[in-house]
Amino acid sequence: MTETSAPMQSLTFAAWREVGDRTAGHVARRYVTLAELLVRLGSFGLDLTWKVRTDHPRLDAACAVLESTSTGTGIGTPELLALAAPDLQTVDGDFKGYSAGELVVILREFDSTSWDVCTADERLLREIRENYPDAEPTPPGEWDL
């Protein structure tokens, strides 16, 4: 699998979201999970092959399964989605999606506080901006592709 030749852009947004009515005092927090982001990829992500790296595979059995399953040729999006339980929080993780062997998207979870989405696909970047209005360009130097 190779790195992409297309110029990628990166957006960063908060992993924790407030939901509810602040004026009525009914505010809760929810976490944006890997499963949610995989679903947001829509048809763009359907046929991708993923390579997973997390910083804590020995501490979390689910993270260890994600990493080990994606070694070698990688894991398809439906399989990754099935393994990424709806409430899975990986703390620190890199999820690299490949199409025809070329890197096309990276989902990076940082310290369970933010997500970075890096891709050259404008439709996906627009989807992220629409669904996560706080998404901003990732500061320069934050990505080590």
Q: For residue 141, is it within any domain? A: no
Residue 97 predicted with pLDDT over 90: yes
Position 45 confidence tier, pLDDT thresholds 50, 70, 90 = very high
How confident is the model at residue 67, as a pLDDT? 84
Q: For residue 144, is it within any domain? A: no
Q: For residue 4, is it within any domain? A: no
Q: Which domain holds residue 50?
A: 9-134
User: What is the distance, to the nearest Å, from the Cα of residue 134 to the centroid of all Cα atoms in its chain?
Assistant: 16
Residue 144 predicted with pLDDT over 60: no
How confident is the model at residue 137, as a pLDDT? 95
Q: For residue 35, is it within any domain? A: yes
Tell me the average pLDDT across 34-56: 91
Closest-CA residue to 97 (of 57, 137, 42): 42
Position 59 confidence tier, pLDDT thresholds 50, 70, 90 = low
Position 2 confidence tier, pLDDT thresholds 50, 70, 90 = low
Select the more confidently predicted residue: 47 or 27: 47
Q: For residue 119, is it within any domain? A: yes
Total domains in the fold of the chain: 1
Q: For residue 143, is it within any domain? A: no
Q: For residue 3, is it within any domain? A: no
Helices (H), 31-83: 34-40, 61-70, 77-83
Chain position carrying tokens 């059995």: 61
**Would you state the structure tokens that stand for residue 57, as one six-digit string?**
């595979």
Q: What percent of the chain has pLDDT over 90?
A: 57
Give the chain's length.
Answer: 145
